Amino acid sequence: QKEVEQNSGPLSVPEGAIASLNCTYSDRGSQSFFWYRQYSGKSPELIMFIYSNGDKEDGRFTAQLNKASQYVSLLIRDSQPSDSATYLCAVHQTGANNLFFGTGTRLTVIP
C-alpha cells in the first residue's frame, strides 16, 4: 500500500463548477497535510496546508481533513481555466523528516 494515494484523473470540470480532489494516507499518526499545484513544465507550489480535523478555507480553495478516515481533500470553487494543473497531496508522517507525496491528480477546467 502506498503511503499517499490520489486518483490520477484526469478530472474535467466546466468553468465555474466545484472541483473536488481527494487523497488518502496510510499512516494514522500523520500530523500535517499539504496541497501543491503544479503547472505543466513547472515546479510544485504550495497552495494549502491543514493540520486539524475539519475545513480550512483560503479564497476559492477549501482543504478538508478527516483523520479518523485518513482522508484529505481539496475543493476549488468557481473553477477557472487557470486552475488546470496537476494537484499533489503531501503528508508529513510522525518521525519523518520528509513529506510523502501522492502521484497527483490532473485537473482540466473546460471554458
**Rule CB under 8 A: which residues touch another protein?**
31-32, 34, 42-46, 49, 88, 90, 92, 97-99, 101-104
Q: Which of 69, 98 has the CB closer to another protein?
A: 98
Shortest gap between Cβ of 20 and another protein (angstroms)? Answer: 20
Q: Which of 44, 83 has the CB closer to another protein?
A: 44
Q: List, in sequence order, every beta strand (DSSP E) within the chain.
A: 4-6, 11-14, 19-25, 32-38, 45-50, 54-58, 61-66, 71-76, 85-92, 99-101, 105-110
The answer to whether 86 touches 106, Cβ cutoff 8 Å, is yes
Q: Which of 82, 98 has the CB closer to another protein?
A: 98
